[in-house]
Amino acid sequence: MEREVNEEKRNKFIENAGKRVNNVLHDIQILEPMARSNTYDFTKQDIEEMFNAMEETLKEAKEEFYKKFEEKQKAAKKVFTFGSKTIATPVNIEPEDQEEIKQVQEEMVEETTEEIQTNE
């Protein structure tokens, strides 16, 4: 479902984002002459480090913009009740918390696996 866009805020975004993107493009373009100049010397590793840093920063910025369009994902919260099966209740979990939850779950599985192997 498309979300509604506030035209005044969008116009402000277009104006400011346009200026900032043009500044970024300019800064990238002024790197090019360094590649052709005899004034500078560099290695392939220098080039990789430089472009990896730019690509990573660009990727992170893009992801930040797309977060606005992501719906909060639902996860099941387990609730214990005596005499019945575990009940799953939907709970909102922020996308940035999902990775941490996944990591904790993986650690718990590893610990449990180690305990089982120790007791065998």
Q: Would you say residue 2 lies in a domain?
A: no
Give the structural domain span for 26.
7-69
What is the model's pLDDT at position 70?
Answer: 75
pLDDT digit string, tens, across residues 34-61: 999 999 999 999 999 999 999 999 999 9
In the chain, the number of structural domains is 2
> Residue 7: pLDDT above 80?
yes
Q: Coil, strand or helix: which one is 78?
A: strand
- Same domain, residue pair 18 and 60: yes
pLDDT at 104 over 90: no
More confident residue, 102 or 59: 59
Segment (H or E) for 75: strand 73-79
Same domain, 22 and 45: yes
Q: Over the stretch 83-97, which tens digit does the pLDDT of each residue have?
A: 655 444 445 556 666
Is 87 part of a structural domain of the chain? yes
- Cα Rg of the chain, angstroms: 25
Rounded mean pLDDT, 21-29? 95
- Token pair recorded at residue 49: 């480090």
Give the DSSP letter string of 38-53: TT----HHHHHHHHHH
Tell whether 60 is covered by a domain: yes
Residues 14 and 41 in one domain: yes
Single out the residue of 24, 17, 18, 27 nearest to residue 64, CA to CA.
17
Q: Are residues 55 and 77 in the same domain?
A: no
pTM of the model: 0.54
Mean predicted lDDT score pLDDT of the chain: 79
Do 49 and 18 reside in the same domain of the chain? yes
CA distances to 79, 104, 105, 108, 116 from 119, rounded to whole Å, are 28, 23, 21, 17, 5
Residue 1 scores a pLDDT above 70: no
Q: Is residue 33 part of a domain?
A: yes
Please check whether residue 24 lies inside any domain of the structure.
Answer: yes
Given CA atoms 63, 67, 70, 72 in this order, what sign does their dihedral have?
A: positive
Residues 91 and 109 placed together within one structural domain of the fold? yes
Q: Is residue 101 part of a domain?
A: yes
